[in-house]
Amino acid sequence: MGRLERSFVIVNSLGLHARPAAMVVQASNRFRCEIQFEKDGLQINAKSIMGVLTLAAARGASVLVICEGDDAEQAMAAIGKVFESGFGER
């Protein structure tokens, strides 16, 4: 059972609003492992749309992604692609 941590910077102009939040929640829910996002000391379940929206991550914010479980590597890769794509808004 692995644990991975990686930081991502929000690059799209509107930040982690409803549509990007839905994208990361959908990506997260494809995996069995536990996935947490952390920003400014607040840690949330990445499989919860309300949790992700609670982060209020604006452009330039750094979000720590923590994946823990059997498929943590695959989950981190999938979530990383979503963040690095700028949620399709760049």
What is the Cα 66 distance to its own chain's centre?
9
Bridge partner residues of 7 (DSSP): 64
Tell me, yes or no, if 1 is annotated catalytic.
Answer: no
Dihedral of CA atoms 24, 25, 26, 31 in degrees, nearest 10, equals 100
11, 17, 34, 61: the active-site residue: 17
DSSP 31: S
Which residues carry out catalysis? 17
